[in-house]
C-alpha cells in the first residue's frame, strides 16, 4: 500500500499482533552521519540508512554542496556511499550561492546552517512554511557572536537565512542556549571541528540555561567519536573540541534502527491481548519482535522501554532486537518527566488512553516547537477519541474514556507530523471496536514511509472488521476501472474477481481440460489450487506473466463459460476471501455483493446501456491496436450478459441492498465521486 496519494486511511479495529517487524534507520543518526561523512576527506558507506523525506533533503543538499552521494550502493537500497568534501564545503558556493530547500527537516536545517556558516559558504537555507515558524534564533545568535555572516531573510529568529563568508573569532567560549532545542548545540558540535582544523587552541562551547533532550546531544558526541573527533564534555554545560580536530571516515558505518519508531511497536505489543488461539508462529518466544534496535542503543528514545514497562509492558531486549508482550492490563497510569524521551513520549500519550487512571507527561515544552505544536495537537486529537485532556505550557494530562461506550470514532488530524499519525494508529486497539481515520497518512514519510504496511504486517483484525466495498455489474460497465481507482483512493486492496475466472479458463486451456460439465470436478480442483499471483500491476500464473493473455476477448468468453460451473465458483471462494485484508478491500465482479461478501459495508451495482458498453470496449480495443467491430462486440456482450444472468450458480443480479448506478452518461471521475459520497455516508466519521 502506498500512502502517498491518500487523503485519509481508515484503520480497522484490531486486538492482536504477532510476528516480526523490521524498523527503518534512525532519523537522528542518519542525518548526523550523512553530514559527518560529507565533512570527511575520504569515502564512507552508511548501511541501514533511513530512506525518508528528511534524509532525502539532507542528501539533496549535500549533493548541491559538491558531495558525490551514491544511492543505492552495491545493490543495497538502504546503503549509500558518500565521497566527503572535507574542509572544502564552501567551494561549490564560491561562484554562486547555494539555494538549499530543507523541507521540514530540523535535523538538516540546524546542522547545515552551522556547517555552512563556519565553512564560510555562500548560501540560502529555507524550508516549508512550518519550518519558517520553527525557531533557530539561539543558533544564529551563537554563530553571529563568533563573526559568522548569518542573516534573516524573513522573520527575525526563524528561517529562511542567508549565509555569507566572514572572519571568525573562536578564541573565546561560544555561548549557545540549550533550553529551547538541543539541536542548536548539536549543530555547533557537528560543525565546529571543521573550524578547529589547523588551530592550536581548543574550541569551547558553553551552554546557557538548562540543556534539554540531553540524550540527543549524547548521540552527537558518540557519532563524532566514530568519526574520530573527541569532544570533552564537562557536565552538560561545557563542551571542548580538541585543537586541529579532523573528521576521519569510519569506512562503513551501520545505522541503528530508529528507537522512536520502535515506540509504536513496543506500545502495540503492550496493548495487544495475547492470542491463545493463534500463538506466534516463530518459536523464539511470545509477543511481538522488533528488529534493528536493542536496549543498549545510543539513542535516548530507547529509554521509552522503561516508561512502557512502568505502564505494564513486558519487554525483553537482545543486542539488535526487542520482544514485547502485554503485562499489566489495563495499563498502569504514570506521572513522568519525559524530557529525556521527547519524541517517544507522544506514544505514551496514546497508551494513556488504556490506563487505569489519568496519566501526566511533564517537562515536554519542546513539543511546542516541533513539526507542529505537539502539546496542542495531542490534546485536540485525544479529546476527539473521548479522552479528558488538560494541558499546560509544558505538560499534558490524559484521562482515559470512562468506558468503552465513551470512545468515539474519530478522524485524526495529523498536522503534517509523522509522529501524530503513527502514535494515533494505536487508537485502533480501542475496546469499543471502532475504526480510526488518519488524515494525510503520507506524512509518516518523514521518518517511516512504510509504517502502515509494517503495522498491517503484524496485526490481524477480525475479517468482519475489515471493510469491503463491492462493485458488481455486467461486462464492460466500467466496474474494474471504478473499483481499482476507489481502492487507490482509500489505500485498500483490490480484487478483480473476473481475472480469477479468466485465469482459471486460461489454465484449463493450457492444460487441455475442456470447459464443460463433464470436467467440472477437475476444473473445480484446478481453480482451488490456481497458482495466481498479483505483483506490480502484473498477473502471474505460476511463473508465466499472463497479464495480456487474460484480457483477450477469447479468454473473456471462456471465463464466462467456466464461471457457470458451481465447482469452479466454489474452488475460487477461498482465494477471493483471502483478499480481505487490512485496511480494507474493494472487490469487483458479478457476485461480490450477493455471494462472496454478502456483509459488505457498501454495495454498488454498476450498469450502462449495452450500446454504451459496446462502444467503450470498442474504443479500448482500438486504442490497444486490436481491430474489432462494434456490432460483433454488441452481440458478444448481450450474449455474455444473458449467460451470466441466467446461470444457476450465482447469476448476475444486484444484491437487494446494492445501490444502483447507471454510468452511461457519467465520466469515471463522476462515478468515483458518487461512490465516495455513498462511502462517506456509511462510515462513522
By the criterion CB under 6 A, which residues form the site for ligand DC? 475, 497-498, 501-502, 556, 559-560, 563, 589-592, 640, 644
Q: Which is nearer to ligand DC, 343 or 591 (CB)?
A: 591
Calpha distance 368→415 (Å, rounded): 13
Nearest distance, CB of residue 524 and ligand DC, angstroms = 14
Q: 484 in helix, strand or coil?
A: helix
Q: Which is nearer to ligand DC, 326 or 640 (CB)?
A: 640
Calpha distance 169→188 (Å, rounded): 14
Q: Which is nearer to ligand DC, 34 or 606 (CB)?
A: 606
Active-site hit among 343, 417, 472, 641: 343
Q: Closest CB to ligand DC belongs to which residue?
A: 498
Calpha distance 72→600 (Å, rounded): 43
CB 431 within 8 Å of CB 548: no
CA distances to 185, 538, 540, 575, 596 from 526, in Å: 66, 21, 15, 12, 19
Q: Which of 144, 13, 2, 44 is nearest to 463 (CA)?
A: 13
Pairing assessment for the beta strands 493-496 and 468-472 based on DSSP bridges: unpaired
Calpha distance 360→362 (Å, rounded): 6
Q: Which is nearer to ligand DC, 501 or 579 (CB)?
A: 501
Side-chain-side CA neighbours of 638 within 13 Å: the count stands at 11
Nearest distance, CB of residue 588 and ligand DC, angstroms = 7
Q: Which is nearer to ligand DC, 391 or 644 (CB)?
A: 644
Q: Which is nearer to ligand DC, 217 or 652 (CB)?
A: 652
Q: What does the DSSP 8-state code read for residue 593?
A: I
Q: Which is nearer to ligand DC, 229 or 650 (CB)?
A: 650
- 181 Cβ neighbours under 8 A, 6+ residues apart: 106, 110, 135, 138, 212, 213, 366, 369
Residue 343 falls in the annotated catalytic set: yes
Nearest distance, CB of residue 665 and ligand DC, angstroms = 22
Nearest distance, CB of residue 468 and ligand DC, angstroms = 13
Q: Where are the beta strands (DSSP E) in 505-658?
A: 532-535, 538-541, 544-545, 585-589, 602-607
Calpha distance 401→432 (Å, rounded): 11
Q: Grid coordinates standing for 546? A: 499472463
**Using CB atoms within 10 A of its CB, is residue 134 exposed (0-12), middle (13-18) or buried (19+)?**
buried
Nearest distance, CB of residue 544 and ligand DC, angstroms = 18
Nearest distance, CB of residue 623 and ligand DC, angstroms = 17
Dihedral of the CA atoms 533, 539, 545, 547 (nearest 10)?
160
Nearest distance, CB of residue 84 and ligand DC, angstroms = 56
- Active-site residues, by number, are 343
Amino acid at each position: 500500500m502506498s500512502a502517498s496519494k491518500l487523503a485519509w486511511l481508515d484503520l480497522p479495529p484490531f486486538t492482536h499482533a504477532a510476528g516480526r517487524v523490521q524498523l527503518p534507520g534512525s532519523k537522528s543518526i542518519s542525518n548526523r552521519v550523512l553530514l559527518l561523512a560529507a565533512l570527511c576527506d575520504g569515502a564512507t558507506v552508511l548501511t541501514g540508512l533511513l530512506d525518508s523525506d528528511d534524509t532525502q533533503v539532507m542528501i539533496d543538499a549535500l549533493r548541491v554542496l559538491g558531495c558525490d552521494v551514491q544511492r543505492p550502493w552495491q545493490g543495497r537500497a538502504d546503503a549509500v556511499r558518500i565521497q566527503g568534501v572535507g574542509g572544502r564545503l564552501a567551494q561549490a558556493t564560491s561562484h554562486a550561492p547555494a539555494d538549499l530547500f530543507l523541507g521540514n527537516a530540523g535535523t538538516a536545517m540546524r546542522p547545515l546552517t552551522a556547517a555552512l556558516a563556519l565553512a564560510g559558504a555562500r548560501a540560502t537555507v529555507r524550508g516549508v512554511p512550518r519550518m519558517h515558524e520553527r525557531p533557530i534564533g539561539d543558533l544564529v545568535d551563537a554563530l553571529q557572536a563568533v563573526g559568522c555572516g548569518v542573516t534573516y531573510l524573513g522573520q527575525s529568529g526563524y528561517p529562511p537565512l542567508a549565509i555569507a563568508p566572514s572572519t571568525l573569532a573562536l578564541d573565546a567560549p561560544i555561548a549557545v542556549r540549550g533550553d529551547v532545542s538541543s539541536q542548536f548545540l548539536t549543530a555547533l558540535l557537528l560543525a565546529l571541528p571543521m573550524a578547529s582544523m589547523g588551530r592550536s587552541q581548543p574550541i569551547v562551547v558553553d551552554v546557557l540555561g538548562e540543556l534539554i533532550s540531553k540524550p540527543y546531544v549524547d548521540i552527537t558526541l558518540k557519532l563524532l567519536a566514530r568519526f574520530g573527533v573527541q569532544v570533552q564534555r564537562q557536565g552538560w554545560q561545557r563542551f571542548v573540541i580538541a585543537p586541529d580536530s579532523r573528521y576521519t571516515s569510519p569506512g562503513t558505518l551501520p545505522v541503528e534502527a530508529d528507537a522512536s519508531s520502535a515506540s509504536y511497536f513496543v506500545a502495540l505489543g503492550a496493548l495487544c491481548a495475547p492470542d491463545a488461539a493463534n500463538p506466534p508462529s516463530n518459536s523464539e518466544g511470545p509477543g511481538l519482535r522488533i528488529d534493528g534496535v536493542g536496549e543498549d542503543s545510543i539513542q535516548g528514545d530507547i529509554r521509552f522501554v522503561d516508561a512502557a514497562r512502568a505502564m505494564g509492558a513486558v519487554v525483553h531486549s537482545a543486542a539488535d532486537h526487542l520482544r514485547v508482550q502485554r503485562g499489566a492490563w489495563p495499563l498502569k497510569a504514570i506521572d513522568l518527566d519525559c524530557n529525556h524521551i521527547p519524541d517517544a513520549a507522544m506514544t505514551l500519550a496514546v497508551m494513556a488512553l488504556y490506563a487505569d487512571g489519568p496519566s501526566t507527561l511533564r517537562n515536554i515544552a519542546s513539543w511546542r516547537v516541533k513539526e507542529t505544536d505537539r502539546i496542542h495537537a495531542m490534546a485536540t486529537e485525544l479529546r476527539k477519541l473521548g479522552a479528558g485532556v488538560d494541558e499546560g505550557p509544558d505538560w499534558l494530562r490524559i484521562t482515559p474514556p470512562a468506558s468503552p461506550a465513551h470512545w468515539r470514532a474519530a478522524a485524526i488530524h495529523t498536522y503534517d507530523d509523522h509522529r501524530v499519525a503513527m502514535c494515533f494508529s494505536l487508537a485502533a486497539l480501542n475496546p469499543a471496536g471502532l475504526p480510526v481515520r488518519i488524515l494525510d497518512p503520507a506524512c509518516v514519510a518523514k521518518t517511516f514511509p512504510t509504517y502502515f504496511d509494517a503495522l498491517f504486517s503484524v496485526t490481524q483484525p477480525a475479517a468482519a472488521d475489515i471493510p469491503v466495498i463491492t462493485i458488481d455489474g455486467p461486462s464492460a460497465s466500467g466496474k474494474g476501472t471504478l473499483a481499482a481507482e476507489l481502492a487507490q483512493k482509500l489505500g485498500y486492496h483490490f480484487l478483480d474477481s473476473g481475472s480469477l475466472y479468466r485465469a482459471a479458463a486460461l489454465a484449463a486451456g493450457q492444460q487441455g481440460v475442456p470447459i464443460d460439465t463433464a470436467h467440472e470436478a477437475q476444473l473445480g480442483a484446478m481453480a482451488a489450487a490456481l497458482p495466481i499471483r498479483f505483483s506490480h500491476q502484473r498477473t502471474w500464473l505460476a511463473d508465466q506473466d499472463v497479464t495480456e493473455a487474460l484480457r483477450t476477448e477469447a479468454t473473456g468468453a471462456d471465463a464466462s463459460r467456466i464461471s457457470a460451473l458451481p465447482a469452479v465458483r466454489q474452488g475460487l471462494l477461498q482465494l477471493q476471501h483471502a483478499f480481505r485484508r487490512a485496511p480494507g478491500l474493494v472487490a469487483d465482479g458479478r457476485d461480490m455483493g450477493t455471494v462472496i461478501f454478502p456483509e459488505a459495508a457498501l454495495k454498488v451495482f454498476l450498469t450502462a446501456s449495452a450500446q454504451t458498453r459496446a462502444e467503450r470496449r470498442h474504443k479500448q480495443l482500438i486504442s490497444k491496436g486490436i481491430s474489432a467491430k462494434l456490432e460483433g462486440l454488441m452481440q458478444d456482450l448481450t450474449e455474455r450478459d444473458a449467460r451470466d444472468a441466467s446461470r444457476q450458480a450465482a447469476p448476475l443480479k444486484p444484491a437487494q441492498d446494492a445501490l444502483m448506478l447507471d454510468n452511461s452518461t457519467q465520466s469515471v471521475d463522476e462515478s468515483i465521486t458518487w461512490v465516495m459520497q455513498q462511502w462517506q455516508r456509511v462510515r462513522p466519521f
